[in-house]
Structure 1
Amino acid sequence: MVDGPKRRLPIVGGAPPGAAPPGGGTGGPEKRRLPVLQSGGDDEGEERPPWHWIALGTVATFIAWLPLAGLANTLLRRMIERTGDAGAQGSVRLAMVGLNAIAFVLAGVAGGYLVGRFGGRAGRREAAASGAVVAVLAWALALTEGAPAGALVWALLLAVMVAIGGASSYAGGRAGLRARSAGAPRSS
């Protein structure tokens, strides 16, 4: 190693060594400020088109429905384990349909509420559409499982599921719109 004074390498576009810093400041390097990319939060960018909220409501409904259906089916499994006689099987099947329908309704209301509350230009119609899409997807999944039933039964099941999904999501969207208008800042 060389024991001597340290040499500084020249900086392209910089002042020659030993020159006074610009602006009469100290000899340290000039600080550069980076541009701020985020604004104060007033401008959040472009608003999503309403049809995006149908997809978001569909995903939200599925996310809410899966744990609710899991809980309902766990309760039903315990009911089936308790009842060993053949006479109770009819009531267990009725409970199975009822609990799963309640789980579907609650999930539809939750997904519709999300669309209504945060949907921008989306409203009740998009919320109802998201519930109907969930119903069609769930019906198609059940159809691929191959449960034995005729075409008329499957068509009726589709109509009932779309009606339940659309109505519950519509109600959730309506509640979300009311919450949005209640939480909106009032201008004087």
Structure 2
Amino acid sequence: MAMLGTAAVATAQVMVGGAPMYAAKDIVDNAVNSKDHTTLVAAVKAAGLVDTLKSPGPFTVFAPTNNAFAALPAGTVDTLLKPENKGTLTTVLTYHVVPGKLDAAALMNMIKDGNGSATLKTAAGGNLIAKSAGGKVMITDEKGGTATVTIADVYQSNGVIYVVDKVLLPK
């Protein structure tokens, strides 16, 4: 029976950016295969966060797509990727990470328990606000920007990823 359960998990992958996401792989090992997250992967490498996101965690990551990064003001990504801006880049990236593993069921329970919203403390020390509207989960940053979760519950060996359509920015 245990083998059957393992086989079901191994074959039921979520596709992100045209690539299967394997629950047995860590966040970095899965993200590098998503064609929709090449900017995020480049930023994680530039910030020196690869080892952190390969560690046991667990982590909940709100992963912006390439289009989300492209929607930032012109030159923002290039500026953030410069070595002299590594501290700022690290802060922006760790603002997308919440310690612990919050799958959609847990997140929805937190929103319900919070009377319609849940405050999530990020690894950067800031807060994100999660709300549910029209069957979608919205994540609001400290600057008032809102991202929509487009893919939830992308399970990893060291956490869970939510694909989001905007870059979340700390104060």
Normalised by the length of structure 2, the TM-score is 0.24
Q: In proportion to residue count, which structure has more helix?
A: 1
Larger radius of gyration: 1
Q: Give 1 or 2: higher strand fraction.
A: 2
